[in-house]
């Protein structure tokens, strides 16, 4: 026999006619292939067991890492399945609401927080997004808590709804400050607006009387200063109001086609530009331009601050051009509205400060242009509330402000 093998053998006794053993029959069965297969199977089982153990350890480690990450964030995180049964809460949620994990896991979301979170999910459903919504939830001790909740749907690889993740931020302090600020704004509005309005009325009545030329000049200076104070007060109130709203979700944003913004701005400043001898024009709107989400009146108000400056600082026979476009970068897709003028430009050293509150450049001081230095700051705040931003390019040949607004749908065609 050459080589080695594995054999299975059996011995059977042989008996003679008298019933006595006369020998033995030995049967050999070659099981080399079977033994090799069994050995290979055992090795495969050991390998699979090791892989399963490694995979289980990796999944456990990944779960522990995710739990550690979620427990380290300051916002509360709550996860439900598709039937709104609570499957996970992080440490911040328990600290914020007083609900311990063992008290809420496996329970219906409607039984947590007074039902406000469940109502929010029912209202948003599969269309839930990351836009925060403000609600009041009930803590475990019965007290109410103001929170901003961002809801994100969970889906399986094949797109089937799996559940929801709620990110919850405590805004109780912010709401209290907002109420205090609103009270202050209302008080300022009452305490300053009324006397300033009366002063403006009396100055107007005085101007109707018979005054000397010198008295008329003095009265005109008084009226101009009253107008500046009223403008300043209104801008300060606007800034305070915008500050209180920046931390809140915009109420009921609506889809807006950018062409309506362009047409509104052009109609609003066309006559002023003509009176100054300036050509205010609007380039043709690109086809298939996507819409944006927001408050149309607020957007027009913000961009009007920029267009008004462009018309004011552009000399006679100059040009102010409004232009719409679509752009895409790493941050997303945008609709851009550019305001290009042929004015004197903004000095390079002043450009980083033009959106700062109360900043007035040298050109405004040189020609004694009235203003509060809050217009561009107000415009930037409104655009930022809409998820956008403003860029500026300027030289001696003119200035271009570009307003970037996130699109609500991709362009077609």
Contact present, 104 and 89 (Cβ < 8 Å): yes
Closest-CA residue to 364 (of 381, 378, 347): 347
The rounded distance, in Å, linking the Cα atoms of 110 and 7 is 69
Residue extents of the structural domains in the chain: 7-67, 73-170, 175-246, 254-406
Burial-class residue 350 by CB neighbours within 10 Å (0-12, 13-18, 19+): middle
pLDDT of residue 304: 93
Q: Helix 375-385 vs helix 296-313: angle between axes, to the nearest 10 degrees? A: 150
254-406: CATH topology: Heat Shock Protein 90 (3.30.565)
Q: Is 0.75 surpassed by the pTM of this model?
A: no
- Biggest alpha carbon–alpha carbon distance for the chain: 162
Per-residue pLDDT, 371: 58
Smallest Cα–Cα separation from 373: which of 389, 386, 360?
A: 360
Please classify residue 24 by burial: count the beta carbons closer than 10 Å to its beta carbon, then call 0-12 exposed, 13-18 middle and 19+ buried: exposed
**So what's the pLDDT on residue 203?**
87
Neighbours of 90 (CB within 10 A): 23
Which fold would CATH assign to domain 73-170? Beta-Lactamase (3.30.450)
Alpha-carbon dihedral angle through residues 342, 347, 352, 354, given to the nearest 10 degrees = -60
Place of tokens 């959106």: 355
Distance (Å, whole) CA 408 – CA 152:
18
Burial class (CB in 10 A: 0-12, 13-18, 19+), 396: exposed
Rounded to whole angstroms, the Cα distance separating 337 from 406 reads: 12
What the block records as the tokens of 94 is: 């328990």
Are 73-170 and 254-406 in the same CATH fold? no
Predicted local distance difference test score (pLDDT) of residue 247: 44
Per-residue pLDDT of the chain (413 residues; tens, 9 = 90+): 455 777 777 787 777 666 677 777 777 777 788 888 888 888 888 888 888 877 777 766 666 666 666 666 778 888 898 889 998 888 888 988 898 988 889 999 888 888 888 888 887 665 555 567 888 898 988 888 899 888 888 877 777 778 888 889 998 888 887 777 777 777 776 777 788 888 888 888 888 888 888 888 888 888 888 887 887 777 777 776 666 555 444 555 788 999 999 999 999 999 999 999 999 999 999 988 999 988 898 899 899 999 999 999 999 999 999 999 999 888 789 999 999 999 988 888 888 888 887 777 766 655 555 556 778 888 898 898 888 999 999 988 899 999 999 998 655 44
């Amino acid at each position: 026999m050459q080589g080695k093998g594995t054999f299975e053998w059996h011995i059977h006794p042989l008996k003679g006619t008298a019933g006595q053993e006369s020998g033995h029959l030995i049967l050999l069965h070659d099981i080399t292939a079977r033994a090799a297969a069994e050995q290979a199977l055992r090795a495969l089982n050991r390998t699979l067991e090791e892989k399963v153990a490694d995979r289980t350890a990796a999944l456990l480690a990944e779960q522990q890492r995710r739990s550690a990450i979620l427990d380290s964030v300051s916002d509360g995180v709550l996860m439900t399945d598709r039937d709104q049964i609570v499957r996970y809460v992080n440490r911040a949620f328990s600290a914020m609401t007083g609900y311990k994990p063992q008290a809420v896991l496996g329970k219906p979301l409607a039984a947590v927080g007074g039902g406000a979170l469940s109502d929010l999910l029912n209202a948003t459903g599969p269309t839930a997004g990351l836009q925060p919504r403000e609600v009041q939830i009930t803590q475990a001790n019965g007290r109410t808590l103001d929170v901003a909740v961002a809801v994100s749907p969970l889906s399986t690889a094949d797109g089937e709804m799996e559940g929801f993740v709620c990110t919850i931020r405590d805004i109780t302090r912010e709401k209290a400050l907002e109420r205090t600020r609103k009270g202050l704004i209302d008080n300022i509005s009452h305490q300053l607006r009324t006397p300033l309005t009366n002063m403006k009325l009396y100055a107007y009545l005085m101007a109707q009387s018979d005054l000397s030329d010198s008295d008329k000049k003095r009265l005109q200076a008084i009226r101009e200063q009253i107008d500046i104070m009223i403008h300043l007060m209104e801008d300060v109130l606007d800034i305070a109001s915008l500050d209180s709203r920046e931390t809140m979700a915009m109420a009921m944003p609506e889809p807006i086609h950018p062409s309506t913004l362009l047409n509104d701005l052009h109609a609003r400043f066309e006559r002023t530009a003509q009176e100054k001898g300036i050509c205010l024009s609007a380039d043709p709107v690109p086809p298939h331009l996507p819409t944006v989400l927001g408050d149309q009146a607020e957007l027009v108000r913000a961009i009007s601050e920029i267009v008004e400056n462009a018309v004011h600082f552009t000399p006679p026979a100059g040009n102010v051009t409004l232009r719409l476009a679509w752009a895409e970068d790493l941050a997303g897709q945008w609709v851009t509205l550019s305001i290009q003028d042929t004015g004197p430009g903004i000095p390079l050293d002043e450009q980083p400060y033009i959106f700062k509150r109360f900043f007035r450049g040298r050109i405004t001081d040189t020609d004694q242009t009235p203003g509060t230095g809050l217009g561009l700051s107000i415009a930037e705040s409104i655009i930022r509330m809409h998820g956008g931003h403003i860029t500026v390019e300027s030289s001696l040949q003119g200035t271009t402000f570009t307003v970037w607004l996130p699109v609500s749908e991709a362009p077609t065609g």
